[in-house]
Amino acid sequence: MMLAEIRELQGIRKSLIAEKIGVHPSSVGRLEAGIPALSAEYISKICAILSINEAFLYEKSDYPFLPQSFLIFRVKGLKVRFRPLGWLELLSKYTSKLKVLLLLPMNKENVVAACVQDDKDSVFLISVEIPTSYKTVFEYRRKQPEDKIDVVANGYFDAPNVLSHRHSFSDIATYPRDMIQSMIEDAFASSLTIEERNLIRIVRKNKIPIEKMIECAKIRKNL
């Protein structure tokens, strides 16, 4: 099921995968259903096409993507209207930390796109083509363990009658990974206080391990 969900989010048809690796689409369907239908060689090729961690399929890893992946998801169609945050549920299931930048039309509440970075340094660009309020995402975050998901919402897309290089999703879909990652980092930096920014500079300058900072924070919290 996870295999099919990642494929569908990437907008890749079973028939296209089958054509690329030289098998019948039904064989891909059986694999997605958990039925051993293809050899290890074909499975490796499918994983490469979808940027899936092959070790995950054999239960040798708890992370389904290749670390430092860059994937584009498209949330559209009737099937996902009943589960508009399926992309966020999938990503949060397999990571302990997510940074989520929601991109909105100017002065509107619905999400047009999301830029996400997880704790494996993978980056995801999500096109949200069904009505999804940014408030829905924040509500989902509140139901998760503390500090698991950080969310920032920014007005990014201009009105249709305004000429702008940031007019449509197709524009940012052409951005390389480092530009999407910079958008995330800039958005979260702007949400920090001056003291928090100074603390980050000190940590980076002195190369203090994040784990040590977290441990110190826990000790102070328990005092």
Residue 58 pLDDT greater than 80, yes or no: yes
CB 149 within 8 A of CB 157: no
Residues 171 and 205 in one domain: no
* CATH label of the domain that carries residue 147: 3.40.1530
Same domain for 183 and 202: no
**Predicted pLDDT at 183:** 92
Domain of 202, in residue numbers? 192-223
Quick check: is 62 in a domain?
Answer: no
Q: Are residues 133 and 93 in the same domain?
A: yes
Higher pLDDT, 52 or 218: 52
pLDDT computed for residue 108 by the predictor: 86
pLDDT of residue 81: 86
How many folded domains does the chain comprise?
3
**53-to-23, 82, 171, 193, 221 alpha-carbon distances in Å:** 21, 28, 29, 38, 37
Residue pLDDT, tens place only, 74-94: 999 888 888 899 999 999 999
- Give the pLDDT band (50/70/90) at residue 22: very high
The stretch 41-53 carries a mean pLDDT of: 93
Q: Is 204 in the same domain as 175?
A: no
Answer yes or no: do 102 and 178 share one domain: yes
Which pLDDT tens digit goes with each residue over 161-178?
555 555 678 888 999 999
Question: Taking all residues of the chain, what is their mean pLDDT, rounded to a whole number?
Answer: 87
- Whether residue 109 is found in the same domain as residue 163: yes
The larger pLDDT score, comparing residue 116 to residue 3, is at 116
Shared domain for 92 and 130, answered yes or no, is yes
Residues 180 and 106 in one domain: yes
Average confidence (pLDDT) over 148-170: 76
Q: Give percent of the chain above pLDDT 90.
A: 57
Q: Which of 57, 82, 98 is the last residue of a domain?
A: 57
